């Protein structure tokens, strides 16, 4: 899976805050109402990227799946943050992603921009986010532990 600066920043955030806070944050993301969302389904950005669905979000903005209407409806990720946000991080992500272009494990950069409501970054759509991967890894680990305990109990 290609590297994304957003994956790294999410990982570092998760590492610093621990799993309890992550579970609370993830629950908040999954239950957010469409009223507070920066973009809406079917909205088109710069007459090119049509929003299909929200796929994530957090303290620094939101991530949407979209299609590139000028490139055979290729699926892309659109990261947005409010232009009014106290801490804006997309500018740094754009700079890092641009420097990583052409590298083996980097996401493809398609474009970026801003308007009076939001700043955005368009990049290749990757697989699952780190929170989901971490949750799956935890489930696999727990299943292995239960299996060992069951085997030990049977042996006794």
Cα 65–Cα 1–Cα 113 angle in degrees, nearest 5: 40
Relative orientation angle of helices 5-30 and 130-155, to the nearest 10 degrees = 80
Residues 6+ apart with CB under 8 A from 40: 34, 51
Task: Determine whether the annotation assigns residue 50 to a binding site.
Answer: no
Residue 26, phi then psi, degrees to nearest 5: -60, -40
Phi-psi bin for 83: left (phi > 0), alpha (psi -120 to 50), beta?
Answer: alpha
Cβ distance 126 to 2 under 8 Å?
A: yes
Q: Which residues are annotated as a binding site?
A: 79
Annotated binding site for ATP: 79
């Amino acid at each position: 899976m290609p590297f994304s600066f957003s994956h790294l920043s999410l990982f570092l955030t998760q590492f610093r805050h621990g799993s309890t806070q992550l579970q609370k944050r993830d629950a908040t993301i999954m239950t957010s109402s469409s009223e507070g969302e920066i973009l809406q389904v079917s909205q088109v950005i710069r007459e090119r990227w049509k929003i299909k669905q929200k796929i994530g979000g957090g303290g620094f903005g939101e991530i949407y799946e979209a299609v590139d209407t000028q490139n055979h409806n290729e699926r892309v990720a659109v990261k947005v943050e409010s232009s009014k946000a106290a801490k804006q991080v997309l500018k740094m992500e754009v700079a890092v992603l641009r420097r990583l272009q052409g590298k083996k494990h980097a996401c493809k950069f398609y474009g970026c921009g801003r308007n009076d409501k939001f700043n955005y970054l368009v990049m290749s759509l990757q697989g699952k986010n780190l929170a989901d991967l971490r949750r799956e890894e935890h489930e696999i680990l727990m299943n292995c532990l239960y299996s060992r305990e069951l085997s030990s109990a049977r042996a006794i």
